[in-house]
């Protein structure tokens, strides 16, 4: 924790704690998404350390660390407004294995860009709590309004499996056309498995169906970089 943050916390009164979330789905073939449950003084995205965190209804709890008993399993509820989160679940295997980074700082330390006139005399990009890193273990619930995930700590080794990399059930972790993938032919389909003849559009959807399109009629084992028989993530 930065010295300025610690000094602020010992005061009888201090500014509000700002909680920010980073969803890193790059290992699943997705992108990095940044969310915050509110807005800044300008009613726009919250800016912290030069990064914009989109206003999105999100509620997370259970981050307390216990010294005894079972490992902590936080829950994160995210709005499924316009079906956006549902689309991510569909495209990236319910986001199982995606990294969640929880960032916290105090309102008075936010970037000056959050305030009228772009002025904040107490802005301090280094004044924050240590990051909390978690992984999405499973999608616990989803409907048209909300998606709820159960998170696991990278230190939770219960049920560890070999090999020593992320074990993701329905998403291939190989880079398309890489040595592991092995495909070097022409254009096949886009990321949604829609046929194409354009190399500019050709992308692998990282699903078993996507793999079968590149290796039609193959009777030997497909070069699929996922683990179809596994249902949850375990990290070594």
The answer to whether residue 130 scores a pLDDT higher than 60 is yes
H/E run at residue 138: strand 132-142
Report CA-CA distances (Å) from 182 to 173, 220, 225. 13, 14, 11
Answer whether 226's CB lies under 8 Å from 171's CB.
yes
Give 124's pLDDT tier (boundaries 50, 70, 90). Answer: very high
Q: Would you call 33 helix, strand, or coil by DSSP? A: strand
Sheet with 51-55, edge to edge strand ranges:
46-48, 51-55, 32-36, 17-24, 99-106, 132-142, 146-152, 75-79, 58-61
Enter the tokens of residue 174. 């190989």
pLDDT of residue 236: 44
163: preceding bond cis by omega (within 30 degrees): yes
Nearest CA to 6 out of 124, 90, 100, 144 is that of: 124
Answer whether 19's CB lies under 8 Å from 36's CB.
yes
Nearest CA to 123 out of 141, 108, 140 is that of: 108
Share of the chain above pLDDT 90, in %: 47
**Global pTM value:** 0.61
pLDDT of residue 175: 84
Residue 106 phi, psi (nearest 5): -100, 150
Nearest CA to 114 out of 35, 57, 52 is that of: 52
Helices (H) and strands (E) in the chain, counts: 3, 9
29-88 pLDDT tens trace: 889 999 998 888 888 999 999 999 999 999 998 887 666 656 678 999 999 998 999 999
Answer whether 103's CB lies under 8 Å from 131's CB.
yes
Residue 113 phi, psi (nearest 5): -60, -15
**Euclidean distance between CA atoms 99 and 33, whole angstroms:** 11
**Euclidean distance between CA atoms 121 and 87, whole angstroms:** 41
157-210 pLDDT tens trace: 454 444 555 666 678 878 888 888 889 899 999 988 999 999 989 999 888 889
């Amino acid at each position: 924790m930065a010295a300025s943050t610690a000094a602020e916390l010992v005061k009888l009164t201090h500014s509000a704690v700002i909680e920010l979330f980073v969803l890193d789905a790059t290992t699943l073939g997705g992108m990095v998404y940044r969310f915050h449950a509110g807005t800044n003084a300008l009613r726009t995205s919250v800016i912290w350390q030069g990064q914009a965190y989109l206003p999105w209804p999100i509620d997370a709890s259970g981050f307390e660390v216990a010294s005894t008993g079972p490992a902590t399993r936080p829950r994160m509820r995210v709005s499924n407004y316009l079906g956006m989160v549902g689309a991510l679940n569909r495209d990236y295997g319910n986001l199982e294995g995606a990294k969640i980074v929880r960032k916290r700082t105090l309102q008075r330390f936010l970037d000056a860009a959050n305030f009228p006139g772009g002025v904040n005399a107490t802005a301090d990009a280094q004044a924050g709590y240590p990051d909390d890193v978690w992984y999405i273990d499973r999608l616990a619930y989803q409907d048209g309004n909300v998606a709820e995930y159960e998170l696991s700590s990278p230190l939770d080794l219960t049920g560890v499996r070999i090999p020593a990399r992320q074990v993701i059930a329905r998403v291939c972790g190989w880079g398309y056309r890489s040595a592991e993938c092995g495909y070097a032919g022409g254009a096949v389909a886009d990321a949604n498995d829609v046929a194409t003849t354009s190399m500019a559009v050709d992308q692998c959807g990282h699903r078993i169906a996507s793999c079968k399109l590149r290796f039609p009629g193959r009777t030997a084992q497909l070069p699929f970089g996922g683990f179809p028989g596994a249902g949850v993530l375990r990290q070594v």
